Structure 1
Amino acid sequence: MVDIKDFEVETLGECRVDTPIESARFVEDDDHVMFHYCLKDLQAYFEAGQTPPYFEMAGPRRNIYFDPSKLKCGIVTCGGLCPGINDVIQAMVMELYYHYGVRSIFGFRYGFEGLAPKYKHSPLELNPDVVTDIYLQGGTILGSSRGEQNVPEMVDTLERMNLGLLFAIGGDGTLRGAQAISQEIKRRNLKIGVIGIPKTIDNDISYVQNSFGFITAISEARTAIYTAHIEALGARNGIGLVKLMGRESGFIAAYATLANADVNLCLVPESPFSLEGLMAEIQNRLERRSHAVIVVAEGAGQEFFQATSETDASGNVRLGDIGVFLKEKINQHFKKIGVDITLKYIDPSYTIRSVRANPYDSYFCLTLGHQAAHAGMAGRTNMLVGYWNGQFTHMPISLAVSARKRIDPKGRLWNEVLASTGQPRTM
């Protein structure tokens, strides 16, 4: 069973300042969101005489920790681009400025580089005029970067600028960086809050049901898959092959497959396959229907490549290009058996992650940004704003980075994929 202590969120101290927000649905500190939502899971805790684990509910508090008139805040965006980053920035600035009356908000340029003195990136002063239309743009107005920076030097910057809050928008690596910054702040006995906003197009942050940009990614992937299907239909023995993002977790590929009934094979990192089995399935499909559509996540089939110690700036192992690999192997296989095919390969990765958020993600980002501002003002730290069971939540960064969220090959999602494509459970 999950330990309830793992869900406890750090605070900077007692909240003694009356909130300037005049009208809101305030959340009390004893408002919680249950981690388990099945009755039998809850009963196991009750029978053991234990309290089931729960998240602290996100939302505005009646009493806050910081005096808004004296508070300075910073925002940083790190890692790869993702639809909705600008929406989150705008939401936080508007909430802090108009509802709390915070007038000093700085955007640090190019990720954690903006906090490192050696890069000499001047922070951007943020206010409603600066962020008014940024939700219409993809990417981030602050710029982004990958890679570690010197943690004590970054905290020196926060201390020198007299910042009370740092909001870090990013994925697993960013959250680990934010955690390290928070730990250094605590070591120095400073009163600076660090709030994470999970950003990962792969939707692979643990204990977070959905991350922003994920729904937009599925929607954009649908266009690429539709194109692959039309190309496959337009040729005898036509094959459309689409590679989507998903280094270790195949959620985009899985959900995009479920959103497109034309997909015949979905390949994800969590479900290994053999080339022989894959080729047999493609061959069977062509014999039955004369065309096939294949969706593959970028992290699938990495066992076919020689292991490497090379990493990118974020410390991620460099992947072999499974899309190009499969394109070559499929062409070689059908040439060997004397079957003419027409294969079209589509890799829309960067066109997907750089687009503006769709309406749902824009709404989601707006609420997420507001909740992050509320959490920071209430003195929470070393935590991120999550989403669970239809509610926004507070959770420790340590819990979020404890493991990567992945598809369960025996779970409901993957079973739905198998039912949709008709592919066998193992290949």
Structure 2
Amino acid sequence: MGAHNLLILQGGGPTPVVNATLSSALSEAYARGKRKVFAARHAMEGLIGGHLVDLSDVSPDQLKRLSRTPGAALGSSRVKPTQQELRSIVDLLRKLDVHEALFIGGNGTMRAAHAFSDFCRSERYELRAIGAPKTIDNDIQGTDRCPGYGSAARYVAQSTRDLGMDVRALPQPVSILETMGRSVGWLAAASAIAKRDEQDAPHLICLPEIPFLVEKFLADLDRILKKQNWAIVVVCEGIRDKRGNPVYETPDLSQADALKRPMPGGVARHLAKIVSRELKVRCRDEKPGLIGRASMLHASKQDLADAEFVGAAAVRALDEGHTDRMISLSPLKRAGEPAATLVPLAAVTGSDRLVPQDWLCDGDVPLNHKFLEYAQPLIGDLLEYEFAVGSVERYANA
């Protein structure tokens, strides 16, 4: 069964490890004797335009470098094809004799894989389709974790610790760090890994899973400042109020993406203005944005292992005749040794995976031991520092 021609595409936002999945998939395809391996430039956009490249003979040295390269080497997009465009894609695959497709991506890509698989069946075109999960948001249903999350979470956790060391040395007194996450709080939650004691950052974490109340936020922050004169707040860009509305959303429609969704981000600056006005203190906002999903320096060992594993597992699944399935990572039993099962694509495309309610708790840092035990091995050890400085009660005595 290894002689089939294979198509690979990368969809959605890049991660530090998505190319490790691509590299691993190519290595497995070569080992299994695929006749040709084609890749779509910029995912569905490339398929629509017929922009494919032949990756049938990438050298081992190139594959090794590719596996440690951030971004998405094939290019990505968030284009939703029309029915006529889908027919043109099927015609192209017929011409190239492609009967296997690997979709590497997040929720949107998994939905596209499932829809395209259904369309091929309706056109009586035999195509096996397998999804390999990828997203820094960690929000795909049906899998214990998503390659990309561990590395982006490591960036957030280490950055929170480092920011805390800066601010406690020269109190601002408030700095609000914004993480990515349009509708889920997995990345913001990861900042809790940085906290070793009560004085350590972060001091407040705001998640979409917990309705945001500005009055409570200000009261909590005021209490912390009166106690130690400085505070680090970590806030997810997608936090919502009790009615489910975004706390902040850019009104500029020209910034919407290809799916007509408003560009996320900016809530930290919005809240910083409120803090400065209401509490009469200096407040900075920090927004790493895309840097948080592009830092290869922060790639975690477990995340790289997961990314490589799902790429090879997806090609094996295709070779074994499976279709309309996604590689689902199983809960870790031992660090560095991922395992997986197959789940139907139809079962993972309905909704975003939130941080479970039983992993949340009351308090300024609303994550309990279940989340910490889950996230720690995915992130790995952070840098530890010896220098610390005691609180200066300037705010309390002012």
Do they superpose with TM above 0.5? yes
Cα deviation for residue 207 of structure 1 reads 1.4
The 1-side partners of 2:323 and 2:183 are apart by 28
Partner residue of 1:28?
Answer: none
Q: In the alignment, which residue of structure 2 is the partner of 1:348? A: 288
Return the offset for 1:200: 1.3
C-alpha distance 349-237 of structure 1, shift in aligned 2 (>3 A): closer
CA-to-aligned-CA distance 1:224-279 (integer Å, 9 cap, x gap): 21232123213346112110111111011112223434211110111012111111
Q: Of the candidates 83, 107, 110, which is equivalent to residue 39 of structure 2?
A: 107
Matched, 1:370 2:303: no
CA drift of 1:413 comes to 4.2
- Which residue matches 1:95? 28
Give the structure 1 partner of residue 15 of structure 2. 82
- Alpha carbons 2:192, 2:367 under 8 Å: kept: no
Instruction: Tell me which residue corresponds to 2:236.
Output: 297
Spell out the pairing of 1:229-240 with structure 2 (5 A cutoff). Answer: 229-236=164-171, 238-240=173-175
Query: Deviation of residue 419 (structure 1)?
Result: 6.2
1:131-175: CA deviation from partner (whole Å, max 9, x where unpaired): 232012101211111221232222222222110111111111111
Residue identity matched to 2:19: N
Shift in Å, 1:93: 0.7
3-state SS in 2 of match to 1:380 = coil
**Helix, strand or coil at the partner of 1:132:** helix
Q: Is the 8 A contact 1:231 1:238 kept in 2?
A: no
2:70 equivalent in structure 1: 138
Stretches of structure 2 lacking an aligned partner (at least 5 in a row): 333-338, 370-398
- Structure 1 residue 406 corresponds to structure 2 residue 354: yes
Aligned-residue offset at 1:78: 1.0
1:389 alignment partner in structure 2: 331
Separation in structure 1 between the aligned mates of residue 172 and residue 65 of structure 2, nearest angstrom:
47
Distance in 1 (alpha carbons) for counterparts of 2:75 and 2:348? 24
Give the Å deviation of 1:211. 0.2
Alignment-mate amino acid for residue 215 of structure 2: E
Find the counterpart in structure 2 of residue 242 from structure 1: 177
Q: So what's the TM-score if we normalise by structure 1?
A: 0.75
What is the 5 A alignment of 1:322-333?
322-333=267-278
Which stretches in structure 1 are left out of the alignment for 5+ residues? Answer: 1-65, 336-340, 422-427
- Structure 1 residue runs of 4+, over 4 Å off? 305-311, 413-417
Deviation readout 1:55-98 (Å, 9 max, x if unpaired): xxxxxxxxxxx2x23x1101100111112111001111111102
Distance 1:364 1:104, change over 3 A: same
Alignment match, 1:224: 159
> AA paired with 1:304?
V
Greater shift in the superposed pair: 183-192 or 312-321: 312-321
Determine the structure 2 residue equivalent to 1:257: 192
2:156–2:190 Cα contact (<8 Å) kept? no
Partner of 1:195: 130
Q: Which residue identity lines up with residue 369 of structure 1 in the other structure?
A: G
Task: Look up the equivalent residue of 2:275 and give its one-letter code.
Answer: I
d(CA) in 2 for partners of 1:178, 1:155: 13
Q: Which amino acid aligns with 1:101?
A: G
Q: Partner of 2:141: helix, strand, or coil?
A: coil
Q: Distance in 1 between matches of 2:157 and 2:228?
A: 21
Distance 1:199 1:114 in 2: 19
Secondary structure of the residue aligned to 2:366 is helix
The structure 2 residue matched to 1:208, chosen from 132, 139, 143, is 143
Deviation at 1:420, TM superposition (A): 7.0
Task: Report the secondary structure of 1:194's partner residue.
Answer: strand
1:415–1:405 CA distance, 2 compared to 1 (3 A): farther
Percentage of matched positions with identical amino acids: 24
Question: For residues 360 and 75 of structure 1, what CA distance do their matches in structure 2 show?
Answer: 24
Conserved 8 A contact 1:77-1:169? yes
Q: Distance in 2 between matches of 1:344 and 1:214?
A: 26
Q: Distance in 1 between matches of 2:250 and 2:290?
A: 25
CA RMSD of aligned residues (A): 2.3
Deviation at 1:309, TM superposition (A): 11
For the residue of structure 1 that corresponds to 2:121, the secondary structure is helix
- For 2:181, what is the secondary structure of its paired residue? coil
**Which AA in structure 1 matches 2:53?**
P
Q: 1:73 maps to what in 2?
A: 6
Give the conservation status (yes or no) of the 8 Å contact 1:257–1:295.
no
CA distance in 2, matches of 1:217, 1:320: 16
How far off is 1:202 after superposition? 0.5
User: How far apart, CA to CA, are the structure 1 residues paired with 2:20 and 2:124?
Assistant: 33
| Correspondence for 1:33 | none
Change in 2 beyond 3 A, CA 1:396/1:316:
farther
Q: Distance in 2 between matches of 1:332 and 1:212?
A: 40
Partner SS state of residue 98, structure 2: coil
